[in-house]
């Protein structure tokens, strides 16, 4: 359907709305905001708009970001376009008409205030159909556990940007596993590596948001 293709393009290239001057080659064209509204008015169901429009665009962005074909500013514009479109779908999420793939609890670990990378992971997850419960920065093990207890069946991801704070991941992973040995824990952030992930008994490491999405999709059967 042509309108779904246009919605996907708006997310891919970060076209928020008609007035938005970015990207220059799409100036004057309708953005994700107007197109999602129009699609709903034309009777396209919200689930189709999400899965065949918005998510398709965000999947392309994730791959391009991994391949260094786009950079943080472009991803942020794509996330803004995605959010503009999602605003119109929010009532359908709330009514249960649109099913998300699952819940993902995300936080930057205790002692660490860096949140740009964590926010990118969160935006990409949301753009790929997950409900993201963002606990923010400086998150202690108790906060992760409370969120997991309140949202059973969620996946959980820890981010750290400092070699000092990444050590706190070990304690947080241990506490989470003590509560539920089956709980899958993702870790990431610049100083983290696969070797470190294995050492602290976390389940999955990814250097980028796309890897998180791919593994989450596998775990959720999505």
- What are the residues binding ligand B1M (CB under 6 A)? 72, 111-118, 120-121, 157-159, 161-163, 186-191, 206, 208-209, 212
CB of 73 to ligand B1M, least distance (A): 10
In this complex, which beta carbon is closest to ligand B1M, that of residue 40 or of residue 220?
A: 220
CB 33 within 8 A of CB 85: yes
Nearer to ligand B1M, 135 or 212 (CB): 212
Exposed (0-12), middle (13-18) or buried (19+): which is 65, by Cβ within 10 Å?
buried
Residue whose CB is less far from ligand B1M, 92 or 196: 196
Cβ proximity to ligand B1M, 50 vs 121, nearer residue: 121
Q: How far is the CB of 106 from ligand B1M (least distance, A)?
A: 6
d(CA 135, CA 59): 24
Tell me the closest approach of the beta carbon of residue 143 to ligand B1M, in angstroms: 15
φ and ψ at residue 156, rounded to 5 degrees: -135, 140
CA distance 12 to 155: 26
* Of 6, 56, 52, nearest in space to 33 by CA: 6
Closer CB to ligand B1M, 127 or 189, in the complex: 189
Rounded to a whole number of angstroms, the minimum distance from the CB of residue 187 to ligand B1M is 6
Q: In the complex, what is the shortest distance from the CB of residue 115 to ligand B1M, in angstroms, rounded to a whole number?
A: 5
Copy the structure tokens of residue 126: 């949301």
Residue written as tokens 């205790």?
110
Nearest approach, Cβ of 213 to ligand B1M (angstroms)? 10
Q: How far apart are CA 201 and CA 212, in angstroms?
A: 17
Distance CA 30, CA 52 (A): 18
Give me the least distance between CB of 210 and ligand B1M, in Å please. 9
Name the residue among 29, 39, 23 with its Cα closest to residue 78: 23
From the number of C-beta atoms within 10 Å of its C-beta (0-12, 13-18, 19+), residue 167 rates as middle
88/118 with CB nearer ligand B1M: 118
Q: Which of residues 208 and 214 has its CB atom nearest to ligand B1M in the complex?
A: 208
């Amino acid at each position: 359907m042509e309108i779904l293709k246009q919605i996907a393009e708006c997310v891919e290239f970060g076209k928020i709305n008609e007035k938005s001057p970015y990207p220059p080659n799409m100036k004057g064209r309708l953005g994700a905001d107007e197109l999602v509204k129009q699609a709903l008015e034309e009777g396209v169901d919200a689930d189709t708009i999400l899965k065949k429009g918005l998510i398709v665009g965000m999947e392309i962005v994730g791959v391009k970001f991994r391949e260094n074909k786009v950079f943080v500013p472009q991803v942020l514009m794509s996330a803004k376009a995605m959010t503009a479109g999602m605003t119109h779908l929010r009532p359908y999420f709330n009514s249960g008409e649109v099913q998300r793939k699952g819940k993902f609890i995300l936080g930057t670990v205790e002692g660490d205030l860096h949140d740009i990378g964590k926010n990118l992971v969160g935006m990409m997850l949301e753009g790929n159909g997950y409900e993201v419960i963002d606990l923010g920065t400086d998150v202690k093990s108790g906060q992760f556990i409370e969120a997991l207890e309140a949202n059973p069946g969620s996946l959980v991801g820890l981010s750290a940007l400092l070699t000092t704070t990444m050590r706190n991941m070990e304690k947080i992973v241990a506490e989470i596993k003590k509560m539920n040995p089956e709980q899958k824990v993702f870790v990431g952030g610049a100083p983290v590596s696969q070797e470190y992930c294995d050492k602290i008994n976390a389940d999955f490491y990814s250097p980028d948001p796309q890897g998180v999405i791919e593994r989450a999709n596998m775990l959720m059967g999505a």
